[in-house]
Amino acid sequence: MALSVRIFIFMMGTILFIMIFELVRRKKFREELSIVWLLIGFGLIFSSFADRIIDPLARRMGISYPPALVFVIISFLLVLALLYFSIVVSDLKGKNKELSQKIALMEYKLSKLYQEKEKQTGSNL
């Protein structure tokens, strides 16, 4: 890989890492979700030097085209990221349902209180 490409990939990873870190620091991005993005930024930084590791590893594994190993690794990591975000969405869906039920119960209780108050004020007249 050419040095200019390595520098570009390294800079992109560094910029992503710093942006995510700054968003978390300013409380614009939640810490739980930022971990995945920080790892992606670190992965970009690492990938600028990865060909020195991937090529020999692919040869040892019997893979004749080293970029194929990179695609397998990236695919696996994307599946893990999708699984993580699916868990987060599922958790938020459960919390949303619970909050909706609590709001409905509070509205029901509030309407009962209004009805009781109207009955009391109506009987006092």
What is the DSSP code (8-state) at residue 49? S
Q: What is the pLDDT of residues 73-82, one digit of tens each?
A: 888 988 988 8
Average pLDDT over residues 60-83: 88
Supply the pLDDT for residue 125. Answer: 56
Supply the pLDDT for residue 103. Answer: 97
Q: What is the pLDDT of residues 41-51, one digit of tens each?
A: 888 888 888 88
Determine the Cα–Cα distance for residues 117 and 85; give it in Å rounded to an integer. 47
CA torsion sign, 26 to 46 to 48 to 72? Answer: negative
Entry pTM: 0.63
Supply the pLDDT for residue 120. Answer: 87
Q: Is 12 left (phi over 0), alpha (psi -120 to 50) or beta?
A: alpha
Determine the Cα–Cα distance for residues 102 and 82; give it in Å rounded to an integer. 30
Q: In this structure, what token pair is assigned to residue 106?
A: 């509070």
Q: Is 62 left (phi over 0), alpha (psi -120 to 50) or beta?
A: left
Determine the Cα–Cα distance for residues 56 and 124; give it in Å rounded to an integer. 90
